[in-house]
Structure 1
């Protein structure tokens, strides 16, 4: 491992934080300022998720197959810059949808490429530890960007967020070039042993024969269906409320800062615990948190409940950010399909995240915010049940009984 390349990788994660997730809650605020209704906002957010879904599996297979991962990653960040500029200058319906589609497609490539570069630099033994560091830097970047965005929105309005995202994307691209291509072992990056023979190109059939991967995929789909739109719609509720005493942009920034600060510690904790307790227990703990968060959002309709909601979000997301990629690496170790497997999980995750805003916007328009949050909580409970039942299935036990790299799966 090259210390210089690992340090550059951490910086990439720091600056990529504000790029990979798009405008986040600020998108809803920006569209509300342009007189969009919650249902329409939800469907626009969904368009980005649908676009991401269409290229998710090809993106993971490309991450396994391509050798110049830095170039592909830089192309993704530059695409986000172009989409951001388009949305700011032309916020009409057509350009808004196109810009979100571009952002969603770029994000589909960014995630597996980051995983592949990490695995190629560290190998499977150190992957969990480095993923924890990556996530900590990513959350620190999100927190820093949110603090800067909040102050900027206070003084200059929502448009400052667009400038910030552009700058972060440019800095991320610069740091990508700081990772030396020769330090990335392309065989390890796709989950092959260093001394293994040549592997075929990634195939979907290999993934579908892994029951642990399939159960994990259904679980994360339901998790993100119940979680993805919760915070953006909380921001919309503040922005749409005539009695709101806080600037919606400042509120959105505060929510991001709280959750990201908690995620830093949760990610570092998960990285330490993964080798001793395994990834399964960390995923279970994260799944237990989401129903509680949805219940607080449903029954606590005041801004005062926001810190508790975001602390819970930070705990769940911080654990999953480390545990899920590590889980996939263990399940597909030696098969040469690691990043295709990561993209399969991202596909399922993205399906839930893409449907979540549209479903939640529709529920809010026809019922209420509290009712929508209650439905999110029910979906989260279903995800936990499926995960717990799945762990006791014979096929899943067989998948987890293969030799480990340390700790449980």
Structure 2
């Protein structure tokens, strides 16, 4: 039975299931090796926190530069599946190359991974909107994130076990393997199930030979879009460095627990993200986007404060439950806010790419600044600074951005 009853044109069940699998397998590809890179560099090559922060920032900076152009590219290209195939292939090859040239190639590989990572979010969001439409976007985005987080749980477990027993190089091999599976899932989505015009949120009046889209200048001067971009920057400035720092804290206290400790941190967060993402998708229309996002920012603030209380590995893993709340909400609600703000503009993926740029700015600053703060003043100071940034994001959202659900005609599913 179809998951999307009532639509004039329903996507096939094959395509819907393939979209599930795509989100599952790309979960281990989108962030490259992510926080496991910090563990790899510290445990295998004895890098210090400042140098690790620089290496991790390279991917963030590359994504920052590529995200908005990639969003525009996703709007322009009809064959969006091909973009995912190219990006997954590039990331798989670069991660494999890191194991062959561990010191000289890391920054180059991180740059390649950053550009590839800029493709995935707008491409998946566009395929989703093109398949199910605005009406079912909240529910389907929640489902996407459920499979994404489930994939991260499976990937973290496999990565932790493989890294512990077979070596840290397996962090990178598993990214390549997951990328290959993601390519297969992408090709199983039927091209005809994706409405090109719907996928870029054009106005309801469609002409066969022309796409009517808002000017880029109008979007760049939209106050609500700019405020939301600032909020996203603050969220990821606070969030991005927390897990890598937690991993370094675990590694510092017990190096034999490095791979399994980082895996436990990731799994704990992802296990919470699964139900939180599902709940966010189902309640975003009834509760509103703003209330959910403020809960996420509150969880992020509390998480940073809790890290300062103990360096016990089991306590650090417990604190990761708050990561699950914050990121579980962000992954769903941020996409919906962009859809609200761009409905009818024909620039959905461009703005989503722009918001991705804001996210990348925050993440790059987070890893870079936090790395140097920890190196100079210690872990507790770093976590306190990140927590205060999350609190400032709460203040900005509460006072300067209204509820955006009212901008959309999207009804709550019955």
List alignment gaps of at least 5 residues for structure 1.
none
Trace 1:290-329 onto structure 2 (pairs within 5 A): 290-329=300-339
- 1:90 corresponds to 2:101: yes
Please point out which of 54, 71, 76 is paired with 2:82.
Answer: 71
Q: Secondary structure at the match of 2:308?
A: helix
- 1:233-265 deviation line (CA, Å, top 9, x unaligned): 111122233xx1752000011111111110000
RMSD: 1.6
- Contact kept in structure 2, 1:60 and 1:112, CA below 8 Å: yes
**Relative to structure 1, is the Cα distance of residues 405 and 165 closer, same or farther in structure 2, using a 3 angstrom cutoff?**
same
- Contact kept in structure 2, 1:301 and 1:370, CA below 8 Å: no
Please point out which of 214, 232, 244 is paired with 1:220.
Answer: 232
- 1:161-202 deviation line (CA, Å, top 9, x unaligned): 222111111000111000011110000000014533433567
Please point out which of 233, 240, 243 is paired with 2:245.
Answer: 233
**TM-score, normalised on structure 2?**
0.93
**TM-score, normalised on structure 1?**
0.94
Trace 1:326-345 onto structure 2 (pairs within 5 A): 326-345=336-355
- Contact kept in structure 1, 2:129 and 2:137, CA below 8 Å: yes
1:278 counterpart residue number: 288
**Relative to structure 1, is the Cα distance of residues 157 and 384 closer, same or farther in structure 2, using a 3 angstrom cutoff?**
same
> How many residue pairs end up in the alignment?
399
Distance in 2, matches of 1:40 and 1:247, equals 22
- Contact kept in structure 2, 1:61 and 1:339, CA below 8 Å: yes
Q: Secondary structure at the match of 1:54?
A: helix
1:51 counterpart residue number: 62
Alpha-carbon offset, residue 321 of structure 1:
0.7
**Relative to structure 1, is the Cα distance of residues 171 and 402 closer, same or farther in structure 2, using a 3 angstrom cutoff?**
closer
Distance in 1, matches of 2:49 and 2:118, equals 25
**Relative to structure 1, is the Cα distance of residues 400 and 148 closer, same or farther in structure 2, using a 3 angstrom cutoff?**
closer
2:276 counterpart residue number: 266
- 1:100-130 deviation line (CA, Å, top 9, x unaligned): 0000000001110010000000111111111
1:104 counterpart residue number: 114
Distance in 2, matches of 1:403 and 1:247, equals 48
**Relative to structure 1, is the Cα distance of residues 288 and 144 closer, same or farther in structure 2, using a 3 angstrom cutoff?**
same
**Relative to structure 1, is the Cα distance of residues 400 and 154 closer, same or farther in structure 2, using a 3 angstrom cutoff?**
closer
Distance in 2, matches of 1:54 and 1:163, equals 26
2:5 counterpart residue number: none
Please point out which of 129, 152, 155 is paired with 2:139.
Answer: 129
Trace 1:355-374 onto structure 2 (pairs within 5 A): 355-374=365-384
- 1:139 corresponds to 2:149: yes
- Contact kept in structure 2, 1:14 and 1:142, CA below 8 Å: yes
